[in-house]
């Protein structure tokens, strides 16, 4: 695996190049690959922290750290995505572990809630998340609510 660089920034700290790469990756995966027409620009980006995993010039992975009270009562990690070019190399797990630590740094060490695509339940369970809802549809895709309890 090539050298990976993880960084997180507020919306106002993003460069135009970074913002373009984020929106391009999210659109490539969530709209085109998953064949799901939805409005990605949901007004949460401006208040969120953006986690990027760069492999040289390629945005290999991305997550969005959303403050408490916006998507859920607790802080959340959303828009979790890895580029097709780097899948099955373990980057998703590295990305989520970095995102969890960054969430604790930014929002304090508190429970994290996510809305996970159902087919990724085992992946999130392997990171310590626990399912706390039945399956529901979001933009035509099966999801479940999960939370990561704080372990002292």
CATH of the domain at 28: 3.40.630.30
Tell me if 59 is assigned to some domain.
Answer: yes
Tell me if 120 is assigned to some domain.
Answer: no
Are 122 and 87 in contact, with CB atoms under 8 Å apart?
no
3-state secondary structure of 103: helix
Q: What's the number of domains the chain is made of?
A: 1
Tell me if 117 is assigned to some domain.
Answer: no
> CA-CA distance, 38 to 23, in Å (whole number)?
13
∠ CA 102-73-123, nearest 5°, is 55
Tell me if 124 is assigned to some domain.
Answer: no
Buried b or exposed e, range 53-67, using 16+ CB within 10 angstroms: bbbeeebbbbbbbbb
Residue 36 structural domain: 4-108
Low-confidence ranges of the chain (pLDDT < 70): 1, 39, 152
> CA-CA distance, 62 to 43, in Å (whole number)?
17
Q: What is the pLDDT of residue 86?
A: 94
> CA-CA distance, 97 to 132, in Å (whole number)?
20
**Percentage, residues of the chain above pLDDT 70:** 98
Q: Could you tell me which residues come within 8 angstroms of residue 88 by beta carbon, excluding any fewer than 6 positions away?
A: none
> CA-CA distance, 34 to 118, in Å (whole number)?
14
Tell me if 104 is assigned to some domain.
Answer: yes
Tell me if 71 is assigned to some domain.
Answer: yes
Tell me if 133 is assigned to some domain.
Answer: no
Tell me if 99 is assigned to some domain.
Answer: yes
């Amino acid at each position: 695996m090539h050298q990976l660089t993880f960084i997180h920034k507020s919306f106002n700290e993003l460069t135009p190049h970074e913002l373009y790469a984020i929106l391009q990756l999210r659109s490539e995966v969530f709209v085109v690959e998953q064949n799901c027409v939805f409005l990605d620009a949901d007004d949460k980006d401006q208040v969120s922290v953006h986690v990027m995993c760069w492999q040289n010039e390629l945005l290999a992975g991305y997550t969005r750290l959303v403050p408490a009270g916006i998507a859920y009562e607790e802080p959340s990690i959303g828009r979790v995505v890895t580029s097709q070019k780097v899948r099955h190399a373990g980057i998703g797990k590295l990305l989520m572990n970095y995102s969890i630590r960054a969430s604790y740094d930014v929002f304090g060490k508190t429970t994290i809630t996510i809305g996970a695509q159902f087919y990724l339940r085992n992946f999130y369970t392997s990171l310590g998340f626990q399912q706390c809802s039945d399956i529901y549809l979001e933009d035509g895709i099966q999801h479940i609510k999960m939370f990561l309890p704080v372990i002292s």
